[in-house]
Structures are given as C-alpha cells and as structure tokens.
Structure 1
Amino acid sequence: MRFTVRSRGDHDSNMISQRIKNYLLEFSLEFDPESPDIVISVGGDGTLLEAFHEYTHRLSETAFVGVHTGHLGFYADWQPEEVEKLVIHIAKTPFKVVEYPVLEVIIRHNGERKSERFLALNECTVKSMEGSLVMDLEIKGDLFETFRGDGLCISTPSGSTAYNKALGGAILHPSLSTIQIAEMASINNRVYRTVGSPLVLPQHHTCLLKPKNNVDFQVTIDHLTLLQQEVKSIQYRVAEEKVRFARFRPFPFWKRVKESFIAE
C-alpha cells in the first residue's frame, strides 16, 4: 500500500507525522506522496481540507484519515495517543471506505477567458467586497430570486457544521447527496425580498448565480480565496466525484455533533 502523511506544520504535528511515517515504513508500506492509496492528515480539519485539495485529481483512488492535534474535529477523528493503534490498522487491516459528496463549482467569465472548475469539501462562499451583493439565483434554469445582501454560502453536507451552521443553516448528515444555500445578511423589505431561509437542493438540481451589479466580490473554495472580476455566472451542483474516508472503527456523526456543540 502506498501512503503519505500531511502535517499542520507545528512541532507536535511534525513529530507525530514522522512517527507515523517511520512506523509504516517498518511495516514495509511504500511512502508515495505523488499517488498515495491513503493520506494521513495530522493536525485539524483545516489540514485535511488542504490534503483534499492536493489530491482532488485522484479522489477515486485515494482515501483520507485524520489525526487531530488540536480540538476534536469532524474529519480528524484519531487522537495522538492512538497513533500506534492506527498504524497497525493501516498496515494490517483492510479498511472500510466511506464516500461522501463534494461540491462542484464552475466559474464562467465574460469574454474569452476559460471557465474554471473547482471542488469543495466544505463550502463555497460569495461575499461582497464593499456594498451589497446583487445576484440572480436560478435553480434548475428558472429564476428563483434576486439576492441582495452580504453574500451566500453554498455548502456540502460535510460542511454543514462549519460556516453554514454559523449562518443558521441546517446540519445535514454527510451521506446525503445534497447542497445547501444559506444567506449572509440578506436585505428584506417592501422593495427587496428573498426567501430568507436555507435551501437544500437534491443531487439532480443545479444552482446558478448571476451577478447583477458591478460590485467586486470574493469567492472562497474551502480555505482558498479568489478575487473575482468579469464573472458571468457561478454554477453549483453535487459533483460526480466523492471524497473517500478510510474507516477502521465506527464514526458516529451525531455523536460527534453532540460532542462538538452540546456536551462539555
């Protein structure tokens, strides 16, 4: 089996990453950062997001597992004191693969500039740099509303516990093939009106945003930030690709939600 290890970069994460690498080499596994079968992320959810974006070109062949060296995350589910146990599992146990949907984002530009395609594990946000963002929101090719406000967040079920939750969006189980649209400070009065509630779209529905004013806006793809100009449209849907996680033990999602937001 081919593997690689990604570290958050702090001292503890680097030390644990080196231990994992040494252990797996002793088990005769092959260290291969170019085409790994499994990526071990050591840090937090942000470290795993970075690893995901590094290997989006081979999601069907690579599985991810996370060791958290900070606060307990939704992706990094192994603790530092469990490293030896994890290594033995990786080396000796055929792991179960759990697949979750990701978000496809296609940005089309005015003029001759080519369209850009991205994948997001958590979410894509569109935010005004100054003033109000005005965009037509189409669903399945039909105009649904003209949004006015600070911006919009389009998230995956896996990302529903992140920025989406802070905006009042619903928490969705990561196995659902959906995307969710949440508003940021929408303007609602006698002149302007939006639905004002998060929308959950099924796999076969496409969402399209079309800018209506000349306000510069910022697009984020998970942790990546892009300043967009001359944008014709931004299209969202559930991607054909899926993210694959290596599971060696049960990973109860609702228990993790409770531990993260309710239980002390």
Structure 2
Amino acid sequence: MNDDDLTYRMTRPTPARPLTGLSLLLVEDSRFTCEALRLMCMRSGARIRRADSLRSARRHLSIYRPDCLMVDLGLPDGNGCDLIAELTDTAMRPPVLIAISGDQGLEAPALQAGANAFIPKPLQSLSVFQETILSFLPVNRHPTGPRMINEERINPDRLAYYDDLSHVVHMLDEDRDQTCSKLGYALQFLRGVAISADDTPVMDAVESLSQAIQGGQPAAPARANLAALLQQRMNALAVA
C-alpha cells in the first residue's frame, strides 16, 4: 500500500465512522452544546470548528467552505435564520445546512430561510446527528457496506454546563438595573442551555422571570430565585 492509498482510506467514511472526511462549522454560543457536538463529531470521524456568533461565523465562511454548517438560531448578535438566508442560493452555501434550537417553533422559519433540516435541542442522539447529515450528502460520501445505526446517547461533560451558567451569572450581574439589553439574550441563552442539560427547575425559573417581565410585574423575586438556583447548581457542579 502506498501513501496515496493510505490517505484515501483514512479520509473515506466507514460504517464505524460514517462522517470521516467531513468538515463541520458549528455556530453556537453554548459550551455545553458545543461539547455535545464535539463528541458526536469525534465518534463520527468528522472535523469540527466553532464560531460563537454571527460575526465570527461570517469570518470563518469568508476563509473556507465547510461540508456542513450547523447554526443555532439564538445567538448573541442576532438570529441564526439571518445567516441561513444570507447563504441560500450563493456560492458560499455549504452542501448541508442545519438549524438547531431549543425552540421547536423556530423549525418552520429556519426551513423557510433555506436550512436543509432542523434538529431540536437537546442534541443527544448520535444516530440523529449522523443520519441527518448523511441524508443530504451525495452517495459517494456515504460509507459502503452494511452499517448498524448507532443508538448511543451523548452526555457532555457537566463542567461545560458550569461554564454556561457562569456566563449567565456574569450577564445578570451586568444587568443589576434591569435595563440592560443583555437580559433578554441571557434568558434566551439560559433557556436553551437548561433544555440541553434537561434541567427542569432552571427552565421553570427562567419562565417565571420572563413572565414577570413580560407582564410588567415586579421581577425582583423571580430574579432572586433564579440567581440563587444558578449559584446552587454551580456549587454542586464545582464539587462533582
């Protein structure tokens, strides 16, 4: 076997690593979700890069064209649907473009903007990840021979959840006067993170604060409850 044969075999998809040779750009601000997708790519043979904002994603896409682009729809500097719409029908559009979100109501807008598919959070199923991407790749990018569907559930390192919660606490500290525009983004971000981590109490606390703000009611009690819950979670994760 010469070097060319070895390189060819190393970059060809296999039943065990069906996405070998695939490059993926993930546009996602949550470290917990990024860790889940990093593990999925590692299990699948794909290479992954990360952008944490629309601005960073546009910078990446100006330099190289990934095989697959996965875009979170709630980002710190805008809606992921805007990036999807920008890329549709342009030479910069990757062959596979997938939207992700904890809000399943955003599936229709994402598909209308031009996404090939929508995957709801939490992103835990390795088979859903692999099969969704493969369904939009040409046949010559598929592994040959029989392949069993991998039903493995991906469980990211909980320290990544700690990092996300710490980020929210920092944003809430910056918004003590409750007028900072970051509050809306912080709650949106935390809602998605809590969905990904299957943390129902945090989801409920976010919903209570959101309802108080939207209803024009005093938000201090709900805000204090959320802050205390986040600190409790972080303390538990720090010693786990």
**Same fold flag (TM > 0.5):** no
> Which structure shows the bigger proportion of residues in strand conformation?
1
Q: When the two structures are superposed, what TM-score results if normalisation uses the length of structure 2?
A: 0.31
